[in-house]
Amino acid sequence: MIAAHETITLNDERKVQIRSALPGDGVKIHAYLRALGESTPFILTNAADMREPEVYEQNAQKSADGSMYVLNAIDPENGKIIACTSLHPGSRAKIAHAAGLGTGVLPEWQGVGLGSWMLNRAIEDMKNRPDILRLELTVMNGNDHARRMYEQAGFAVEGVKPRSIRQPDGSFNDEILMGMWVGEGADHD
């Protein structure tokens, strides 16, 4: 699973620290999500939807106790979260084997391999968890870069929800449903 602290070098030679969310990270997670939401129309969270930092602190606590998976990339220059991949296992018995995946990278850190690295690390970590057999995510139409990244990682398109996302400007996006089997019989290379 996630090392206590790991440093990776990106394609542009910048270094970032990788670690699980820790108690006390709630304010940093809140700031990261706000910045990400302001930078792109391709995530569900926008400024009006932001919860209080205490809610994100609860997620950091869940990451620390192992009931939730939150992998953060930290800018070593300023200690800010610059990317995050999280997985939320299903909350009911019939869907507890499937985890919903969310991932994002702040714009100034995109295009240098960080998103792919984090996604692939999370997939490998989930392959080592016997309770998680399936990963699921959605990507909005038009977010071609993210869709290619997910497909390269092994996710397959499983359906489309037409016009399921309404943007603040009144326009609509389709939601593309993607999934991947990571349980028994999955490729474990």
pLDDT, tens only, 112-153: 999 999 999 999 999 999 999 999 999 999 999 999 999 999
pTM passes above 0.75? yes
pLDDT of 32 reads 94
Residue 10's H or E segment, with its range, is: none
Per the CB < 8 A criterion, the answer to whether 51 and 13 are in contact is no
Rounded-to-integer distance, Cα 173 and Cα 154, Å: 23
Residue 1 lies in a domain: no
Residue 43 lies in a domain: yes
pLDDT, tens only, 35-65: 999 999 998 887 778 888 888 898 888 888 8
pLDDT of 50 reads 83
User: Token digits for 189?
Assistant: 């290379």
* Structure confidence at residue 186 as a pLDDT band (50, 70, 90): low
Domain count, the chain: 1
* Strand order across the beta sheet in which 81-89 lies: 6-9, 15-20, 69-74, 81-89, 98-105, 134-140, 172-181, 156-166
Rounded-to-integer distance, Cα 152 and Cα 129, Å: 22
Residue 187 lies in a domain: no
Mean of the pLDDT values across residues 182-187?
78
Tell me the residue range of the domain where 98 lies.
6-181
Rounded-to-integer distance, Cα 150 and Cα 176, Å: 11
Summary mean pLDDT of the chain: 92
Residue 34 lies in a domain: yes
10 contacts: CB under 8 Å, gap ≥ 6: 16, 109, 112, 113, 114, 117
Residue 102 lies in a domain: yes
Residue 166 lies in a domain: yes
Choose the weakest-confidence range: 41-50, 73-82, 109-118, 168-177: 41-50
CATH number at residue 36: 3.40.630.30
Nearest CA to 160 out of 149, 176, 143 is that of: 176
Outline where DSSP puts E strands in 90-170: 98-105, 134-140, 156-166
